[in-house]
Chains A and B, each alone.
Chain A
């Protein structure tokens, strides 16, 4: 829909430099045959205070305008940490082959983590708060916590889940689960759960103690994830699967109301690939990590086991 080009309008069209896109979008500009009084006409109108709903804060920040300040004070949570202290490195042949085979012997050397030599000292600290702490007993209770946490997932109640799960794990479990239905079933455990690793750490002050325990769980489970509309998105409702996992449980020892809760999972690099999602999808852009941000983030937990040396001094 081009406007009629008269001789009187040519000077306007020359001034307005149009791109190719704009030339396809033709709207009737300057319909008046004698635009002599166009600028005087502007003075007859008041300037209303129209708001900028279209532009985003990002564009404004580029131009130099500060974004609006939010007066919401975010709460700080001390009951859980956000990391795994001294992660356990599981051996490669675990779960694939039996103990007495060649394949297990090749890749089965347990890589020694830093604080395996000080295991008994960590145990001693844990027993100060829990006098009845036994490794074998704890493995079974940990398995029960694992079952309870996953069975409550389907109810979509985060407050109920916090009894069994720390805030760090709630973030990871609850985020993508909001608008889906999950059906999870525990069938049986194939091997006994075993405690593999114990760590305690301090946060800033001597009296703040956190303890983490990794447990090896080998089990059979059923998982089916359904869509917002009731379509199957992942897994199946009838076929069970063998699952080998190294689960981390955490407790805030200096808190009188603290309890052992599911904290995180260690996924080794040699684990088998997951089954694919049923529907096809386009690959999203790769997740970019801010290296500068990660350098600035400093964990408040000490990286050493230096708090264990004082136990010997007290005894001696």
Chain B
């Protein structure tokens, strides 16, 4: 063929950080705190629900279910999110199930973004937003969270990374179709406060912009913080699509069950996109997730609720990792939510020198060095910035602490590393 065989929409979206880093971690035998998935099992009640769905009497659970979401699942999601949002939700029109939150994001960008539309993305961001906006023909417009110095002697918190209100306002234009909000935020772990959400909401209303609200880590908030749903703020329900994930809620990332919640006027277009891309989602996992949510709905707020126990468990792991990183000389930013933690590695420029005028950001070189020399894998923060901004915050790496055995192994590595540094 004289012209390229691939379509133009693939321009600029072919690179993927995960493909590279997953390969790297697999090549060297590493303790992998890089990619975000748990190394401990999902809750028993959910495993049992899946087992019932697969081996039970209802053999039709191996066949197609309703394309926009298995009825038991959309019903319980409508009930739960109705309660959380203080609204009556129709399971058939206000909820749609997707193949993970990833496919929900894809449907949103495809459904709402056209050539010439601008989409505001807050940096650092989950890396897929950028290529998805581009593939839809849109233009990403970036606005950074900027770190404020922490109080004397204290470690930085993800709360110390904030938007500049004037800067944010300046990013909205006539072309702004949507803003992507991710709270709790991957990679920083920031949980946006009510004030911060109101700032964003006011601008959305003023500019008639949509809000694509990626809330997959909604249950993972620590230190008594509250996850506030922007869709519950005045003027926001009608312009917001909320995205959620069973993978993150129930520690079953491999099930790829996600959902969107929002007004019918927006969801109808997601349904059109969905029926023309994958049409149906796998049935059995939806059935099991429905049962999992039913159980949680009944235990809501009680001490044995998984939504209470899991964040409690993860908070301990967070604190454990923070201690180990401090001991080795890194400066962790305490996350308010998610199971990710970002640490400042600028101290290590003596051990791993910076190379001026290098194409590769410092944190990426450091991360690769750490994989090869310490057998520990983490992801460079620059991976979560657009090309032009990769060197703005390039001395941080991201760890995932939703780990059991792996966290212990990481701790051993960090202890050993600390001793090596101390030795003359």
Q: Do A and B come from one complex?
A: no
